[in-house]
Amino acid sequence: MWRVVGFAVVCWGSGCHHSASSAPDAAQDIPADAAQDTPSDGAQDIPPDVMQSDIKHRVGGRVRGLWDGASGVTLRLHTDGIDALLAVSVNGGFRCEQELAPGASYTVTVATNPVQHACIVDAGGNGVVGDADVANVSIACTGPAVTIAFSGLWGWAFDPTEDAQTFAGSVITQDVALTISGSSLTGASVDGAAATLGEPTAPLALALGPTTVRVGLSASGGLSKTHELIFNRAASVIDQIAYGKASNTGAGDGFGNAISLSGDTLAVGARDEDSAAAGINGNQADNTASSAGAVYVFVRSGTTWTQQAYLKASNTGAGDSFGFAVSLSGDTLAVGAKFEASAATGVNGNQADNTASFAGAVYVFVRSGTTWTQQAYLKASNTGAGDSFGHAVSLSGDTLAVGAPGESSAAVGVNGNQANNAAASAGAVYVFARAGTTWTQQAYLKASNTGADDGFGSSVSLSGDSLAVGAPGEASAATGINGNQADNTVFQAGAIYAFVRTGTTWTQQAYLKASNTGTGDLFGRSVSLSGDTLAVGAPGESSAATGVDGNQADNSASAAGAIYVFARTGTTWTQQAYLKASNTGANDSFGSSVSLSGDALAVGARFEASAAVGANGNQADNAASGAGAGYLFVRTGTAWTQQTYLKAPNTGASDEFGSSVSLSDDTLAVGAPGEASAATGIGGNQADNAASNAGAVYLFR
């Protein structure tokens, strides 16, 4: 017999091998008759604590972060009398075969690192063995330095030690671009396609729910690795991220009457702000120019929003309503002042002239770094009193469309007779193009069936070489696409005109009507174009239907409102969906604002009356008249569904939340020009109601 007096244990791969040192006289210590003293049923007589001491457990856990081709990490398990080494060459679970008794203390450390790796024990590195195997030892290995940055806001950052990880985003988030970098990297791929190190990939489309993106990496020394990045575009998650107020909040300013979001920049109009300041970052405390108007620019850094600029017209005048309309595209901002009174025409004319009451003007600003400057002062080529040039603006790159719904020419089509004033408030649209820093008028657009009081140009939306123009006062009884334009039997039914540009030449491509044209529907009061998809608001539509493609013939909910979605294939437009609120109510004005971004659509209902707060609250409550609401729809294939019913976190009667909406990337901005808090800046006191109609803007993702 041999008596065991110690162990030397070495573990390789997944197993532990041990050798014993023994004393040759061990057998002499055992009585010769010992075996005879043990009864045949002796197992039944062994005390429970002796049996328990025979139960052994193992120490293990998980290794992560190793690259393929690495030599492996060597771990050391230490306990009384034991030093066990375990070599692990692949990611995943490990367990040493050495058995330890309950109550034994242990420590796990990293003995040696693989080449180009640094491994640490980041959890469970020491403890006491209990009544089960230890499985919580965590080894994190960081290989060649690599970072993967994402466009947009996601739940958390990339972890290079994890092979697979999930990132949470909202339903608004429709795509993601990756930027892969690392000093030791020799190559990268995304879903099998080569990616340029240090440069963003093309945006990757994300369906609702989880989308897995596989990123392949290679590094010097023959190392390689594949990460599975799972982007979860959650269908029901939308959170408020900011509450914004003007830096000089004032009662009646109407901050939020117009908003435009482009990436990490937000422009907010306050058409009734009263400062007499002119230009950039002037005296905000002056209130001697009633309803002159102002625009506030906010920027996001990470998740934090701050005000970057306070903009005024270069010729600030009382009653001009600077900020009535805003449109932002990258580092360029267009601002409409529909009641400006100069009789100047064209670009950079005489701003001091005030002989054309309510003629209107547009101001173009540009940003260099963080500094904004005014680049141009634009007027119509046929300026006329009451034309309301700047009532609507839409900017796309170097092209700007300006609506003047009060313009009175009876001309039709493109570049007709501007001097004719035989059709009062027929409306017109002016297209400007920029070359370098110089703006020129490119086209003068009229409806193909110009009529007095049609209000052509009340809404405009540009997307590349396509333009949609709303005429909510148009009176044809036609329905659908390219119907009878000559009919004028349905007062204020409304229409949309789609134009396209080839080179520098614009032509009308389609004349669009609702599928259920009705008197007073105001089809075209709001419009948003994104690629080959067009959303049209008709806030006066009266169907009591709810949801998607309901009963259009019902007219029992006066001015409830509706949205019509059209899609283009080639040059042909068709209606794709008829959308109603999930809580349709008379006079809610669903469709008073719209914003389309790819497969996501935001709709405002400025007079909706629920007192609910936040996302998906009680829609049936009608205790807050005119509080307003927002609705978020998404498209899968050709099918639209409502995803979120949105209210302000400080819902109040007459706040008109949803008067303006703007979607960009993964962010939604909603304006509430009737909100009454006297707070200033970002994240102020929402409960204060001391500044009636001061206005606010809310940001969601």
Q: Which residue has tokens 């010097």?
A: 220
**Residue 44: inside a domain, yes or no?**
no
CB-CB neighbours of 194 under 10 Å: 10
Q: Are residues 475 and 367 in the same domain?
A: yes
Question: Looking at the predicted structure, is the pLDDT value of residue 240 above 90?
Answer: no
Question: Looking at the predicted structure, is the pLDDT value of residue 597 above 50?
Answer: yes
* DSSP per-residue letters across 124-147: --EEE--SS-EEEEEEEEE-S--E
> Among candidates 49, 183, 39, which has minimal Cα distance to 103?
49
* DSSP per-residue letters across 196-230: -TTSBPPPEE--SEEEEEEEEEEETTTEEEEEEEE
- Which residues have CB under 8 Å from 32's CB, separation 6+? none
* Residue-level pLDDT at 31: 39
In total, how many domains does the chain have?
3
Q: Are residues 189 and 323 in the same domain?
A: no
**Residue 65: inside a domain, yes or no?**
yes
**Residue 97: inside a domain, yes or no?**
yes
Distance CA 697, CA 202 (A): 31
φ/ψ of 351, rounded to 5, equals -80, -15
For the record, the structure tokens of 315 come out as 């010729």
Distance CA 491, CA 471 (A): 12
- Which residues have CB under 8 Å from 6's CB, separation 6+? 20, 21, 81
**Residue 42: inside a domain, yes or no?**
no
**Residue 632: inside a domain, yes or no?**
yes
Q: Are residues 405 and 430 in the same domain?
A: yes
For residues 72 and 2, which has the higher predicted lDDT (pLDDT)? 72
Q: What is the CATH number of the domain that holds 655?
A: 2.130.10.130
Q: Are residues 62 and 170 in the same domain?
A: no
* Residue-level pLDDT at 170: 86
Residue 223 structural domain: 147-233
Q: What is the CATH number of the domain that holds 223?
A: 2.60.40
Q: Are residues 332 and 450 in the same domain?
A: yes
* DSSP per-residue letters across 287-332: --STT--EEEEEEEETTEEEEEEEE--TT--TT--EEEEEEEETTE
What mean pLDDT do residues 323-351 have? Answer: 98
Number of helices (H) and strands (E), helices first, in the chain?
1, 47
**Residue 48: inside a domain, yes or no?**
no
Q: Are residues 454 and 580 in the same domain?
A: yes
- The CA angle 507-509-512, to the nearest 5 degrees, is 135
**Residue 624: inside a domain, yes or no?**
yes
Q: Are residues 455 and 483 in the same domain?
A: yes
pLDDT in tens, 545-581: 999 999 999 899 999 999 999 999 999 999 999 999 9
| Domain closes at, from 109, 142, 175 | 142
Q: Which residue has tokens 């972890």?
A: 159
For the record, the structure tokens of 334 come out as 């267009």
* Residue-level pLDDT at 237: 72
Q: Are residues 153 and 89 in the same domain?
A: no
> Among candidates 439, 575, 471, 573, which has minimal Cα distance to 516?
575
Which residue type occupies 32? A
Question: Looking at the predicted structure, is the pLDDT value of residue 5 above 50?
Answer: no
Sorting pLDDT into bands at 50, 70 and 90, what band is 420?
Answer: confident
Residue 395 and residue 366 in contact, taking contact as beta carbons nearer than 8 Å? no
Alpha carbon separation from 239 to 242, 255, 648, 684 (Å, rounded)? 9, 22, 11, 17
Q: What is the CATH number of the domain that holds 77?
A: 2.60.40.10
Residue 684 and residue 694 in contact, taking contact as beta carbons nearer than 8 Å? no
**Residue 282: inside a domain, yes or no?**
no
Distance CA 454, CA 470 (A): 9
Q: Are residues 216 and 255 in the same domain?
A: no
* Residue-level pLDDT at 302: 86
Q: Residue 586 burial (CB < 10 Å; 0-12/13-18/19+)? A: middle
Answer positive or negative: Cα dihedral of 95, 99, 102, 104: negative
Q: Are residues 336 and 399 in the same domain?
A: yes
Q: Are residues 135 and 163 in the same domain?
A: no
* Residue-level pLDDT at 688: 87
pLDDT in tens, 627-679: 999 999 999 999 999 999 999 999 999 999 999 999 998 899 999 999 999 99
* DSSP per-residue letters across 545-575: --SBS--TT---STT-BEEEEEEEETTEEEE
Mean predicted lDDT score pLDDT of the chain:
92
Weakest-pLDDT range from 161-165, 289-293, 360-364: 161-165
Question: Looking at the predicted structure, is the pLDDT value of residue 26 above 70?
Answer: no
Highest mean pLDDT among 16-30, 236-250, 334-348: 334-348
CB-CB neighbours of 594 under 10 Å: 27
| Domain closes at, from 84, 118, 142 | 142
| Domain closes at, from 142, 171, 190 | 142
What mean pLDDT do residues 36-52 have? Answer: 41
Sorting pLDDT into bands at 50, 70 and 90, what band is 6?
Answer: very low
Q: Are residues 402 and 460 in the same domain?
A: yes
pLDDT in tens, 295-304: 999 999 988 9
